[in-house]
C-alpha cells in the first residue's frame, strides 16, 4: 500500500477548486486542510470539499501536514514557499514558481539545508500528449530538432477571470503567466537553454474588465503584454516563442518543432491531451503522418469534460518520490531554470541585449504510460 502524504492548500482562489476536485484521482496524496488570507475564501472551499479551514499560520504549523501546495498569487509565491520550508514542509507551487532567479536560489538553498523537496507547476507537460512528443523526439522520429515556432496569443484575461488585476502587474504578463507551459515543455523536450533574446511592448496602459464581478473596472497595465523571444538551446536548436495578450485572432499552431528529417506539431502545453502530428521527409516524398497515439492514462478525457485534466499529477509524483527516495519530475531546479529563461527574455527586452542563462537543469525522467498509471488511484 502506498504511504499517503497529507497536503495543505494555501490560497483558495480560482485554481484551488481544480486541485481539490482532482486530488482523489491520485494515489499517495490527501488534501486535509486549506487556508487563505481571506478567511471566508478558505471556509467556502473547506465546506465544499469537506476539509479543515485554517489560518495561514495555522496551516504552516499543522503537525499532520507534509506538503504545502502554494496556490497564492504570483507576487506571494516566494514568501509563502519560504515560510512553508521554514516550517519544515515540502512545497509544491503553482506557476510561476518565483519571480526572480535570486528568489529561486534562496528557496533551493533553504530546501537543501532542511532536507525538503520543492516542486512546481506546470504538470500538464506530464500529460500523455507531451510525454508522447518527447518519446517521438527521443526516438529520432523527425531527426535532430534544429528550430521551432511556438506561440500563445489571445486578448488577455480580463474577459474571464473574476479578479484579473494581478495578470497585468509585475510578475504577471503573458510570459510569466502562460510562458511556463511553453518553456517548461521545450526544456523537457530539448533540455536546457544557453541564452535568450527578446523584444517587448504593450498595446494599452489600461484594460477594462468585462467579466463579473468586476465588470467595468479599469485596471492598470504595468508589464509587457506582447513578447517576442528567441531561445538558443544547449543542444543547438534555436526556437522562436511569442507570448501575447494583444492579439484578437491568429492562425498559428501552439508548438511546431522542426527537425532534420521532419516536423512535429504539438498541441497546447496548457492541456494534458490533444493530437500530435508529424510531417516526415521520406526517401522519395513528403507526407503528413498521423502517428499512432499512445494509450497513456494522462491523456484520456476525464471528469465529465471533453478534455484531459490531471492537475495534481506533478504533486503526486513528488509525494511518491519522497516516499520512495527517488528524484521527482516537476522539481525546483527545473522550475528555476524556466524562471531564468522567462525573466531573461523580459530583461533582454528591457535592456536590448542577449542574456546568458545563470542556471541549468537536467531533463527529468520521462513519464511513460506505466509510470503514469502508478500515479493514479485506479491505476
Footprint of ligand NAD (CB under 6 A): 10-16, 36-38, 41, 56, 71-74, 76, 80, 94-95, 163, 177
* In contact, 224 and 97? CB cutoff 8 Å: no
Please identify, using beta-carbon distances, which residue of 23 and 145 lies nearer to ligand NAD: 23
Give 56 or 192: the residue with its C-beta nearer to ligand NAD. 56
- Residues ≥6 apart with Cβ < 8 Å to 64: 6, 32
CB of 54 to ligand NAD, least distance (A): 11
- 177 vs 268, which CB is nearer to ligand NAD? 177
CB 18 within 8 A of CB 311: yes
Q: Residue 14 belongs to what H/E stretch?
A: none
Nearer to ligand NAD, 56 or 349 (CB): 56
Q: Which is nearer to ligand NAD, 126 or 278 (CB)?
A: 126
CA 276 to chain centre: 20
d(CA 325, CA 40): 38
* Least distance in angstroms from the C-beta of 59 to ligand NAD: 8
Q: Which is nearer to ligand NAD, 176 or 276 (CB)?
A: 176
Order of strands, sheet of 5-10, starting from the edge strand that comes earlier in the sequence: 52-54, 29-35, 5-10, 67-70, 90-93, 118-120
Residue 188 to residue 192: CA distance in whole angstroms: 8
* Closest distance of CB 316 from ligand NAD, Å: 17
Strands (E), the chain: 5-10, 29-35, 52-54, 67-70, 90-93, 118-120, 145-153, 193-201, 206-208, 218-220, 226-233, 238-244, 255-259, 262-266, 277-281, 286-289, 355-356
Closest distance to ligand NAD from the beta carbon of 81 (Å)? 10
| Residue among 72 and 331 whose Cβ is closer to ligand NAD | 72
State the minimum distance, in angstroms, from the CB of residue 82 to ligand NAD. Answer: 11
Q: At what angle do helices 332-351 and 101-114 cross, to 10 degrees?
A: 160
Q: How far is the CB of 317 from ligand NAD (least distance, A)?
A: 17
DSSP state of 96: S
Between 43 and 246, CB nearer to ligand NAD: 43
Reported residue count of the chain is 379
Kindly give the pairing relationship between strand 226-233 and strand 238-244.
antiparallel
Q: Residue 107 is placed in which grid cell?
A: 528557496
- The distance of closest approach from Cβ of residue 247 to ligand NAD in the complex, given in angstroms and rounded to an integer, is 20
CA 97 and chain centroid, separation: 8
Contact criterion met (CB below 8 Å) for 242 and 199: no
Is residue 27 within 8 Å of 376, Cβ to Cβ? yes
Nearer to ligand NAD, 14 or 201 (CB): 14
Residue 152 beta carbon to ligand NAD: minimum distance, rounded to whole angstroms: 13
- Report, in Å, the least distance between residue 117 CB and ligand NAD: 19
| Nearest residue to the partner ligand NAD, using Cβ | 13
Amino acid at each position: 500500500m502506498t504511504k499517503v502524504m497529507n497536503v495543505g492548500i494555501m490560497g483558495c482562489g480560482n485554481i484551488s477548486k481544480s486541485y481539490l476536485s482532482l486530488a482523489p484521482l491520485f494515489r499517495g496524496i490527501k488534501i486535509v486542510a486549506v487556508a487563505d488570507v481571506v478567511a471566508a475564501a478558505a471556509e467556502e472551499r473547506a465546506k465544499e470539499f469537506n476539509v479543515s479551514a485554517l489560518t495561514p499560520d495555522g496551516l504552516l504549523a499543522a503537525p499532520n501536514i507534509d506538503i504545502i501546495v502554494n496556490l497564492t498569487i504570483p507576487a506571494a509565491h516566494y514568501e509563502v514557499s519560504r515560510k512553508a520550508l521554514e516550517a519544515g514542509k515540502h512545497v509544491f507551487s503553482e506557476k510561476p514558481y518565483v519571480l526572480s532567479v535570486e528568489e529561486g536560489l534562496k528557496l533551493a538553498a533553504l530546501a537543501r539545508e532542511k532536507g525538503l523537496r520543492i516542486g512546481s507547476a506546470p504538470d500538464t507537460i506530464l500529460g500523455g500528449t507531451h510525454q508522447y512528443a518527447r518519446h517521438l523526439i527521443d526516438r529520432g522520429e523527425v531527426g535532430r530538432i534544429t528550430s521551432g515556432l511556438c506561440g500563445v496569443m489571445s486578448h488577455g484575461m480580463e474577459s474571464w477571470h473574476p479578479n484579473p488585476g494581478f495578470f497585468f502587474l509585475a510578475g504577471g504578463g503573458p510570459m510569466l503567466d502562460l510562458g511556463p507551459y511553453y518553456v517548461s515543455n521545450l526544456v523537457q523536450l530539448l533540455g536546457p537553454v544557453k541564452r535568450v533574446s527578446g523584444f517587448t511592448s504593450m498595446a494599452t496602459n489600461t484594460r477594462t474588465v468585462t467579466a463579473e464581478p468586476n465588470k467595468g473596472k479599469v485596471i492598470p497595465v504595468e508589464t509587457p503584454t506582447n513578447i517576442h523571444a528567441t531561445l538558443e538551446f544547449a543542444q543547438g536548436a534555436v526556437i522562436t516563442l511569442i507570448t501575447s495578450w494583444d492579439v484578437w485572432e491568429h492562425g498559428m499552431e501552439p508548438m511546431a518543432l522542426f527537425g532534420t528529417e521532419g516536423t512535429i506539431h504539438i498541441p497546447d502545453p496548457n492541456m494534458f491531451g490533444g493530437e500530435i502530428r508529424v510531417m516526415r521527409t521520406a526517401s522519395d516524398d513528403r507526407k503528413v503522418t498521423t502517428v499512432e497515439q499512445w494509450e497513456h492514462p494522462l491523456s484520456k478525457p476525464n471528469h465529465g469534460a471533453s478534455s484531459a485534466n490531471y492537475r495534481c499529477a506533478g504533486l503526486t509524483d513528488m509525494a511518491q518520490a519522497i516516499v520512495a527516495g527517488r528524484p521527482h519530475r516537476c522539481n525546483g531546479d527545473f522550475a528555476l531554470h524556466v524562471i531564468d529563461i522567462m525573466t531573461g527574455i523580459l530583461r533582454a527586452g528591457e535592456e536590448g541585449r542577449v542574456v546568458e542563462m545563470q542556471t541549468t537543469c537536467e531533463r527529468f525522467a520521462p513519464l511513460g504510460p506505466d509510470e503514469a498509471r502508478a500515479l493514479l488511484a485506479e491505476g
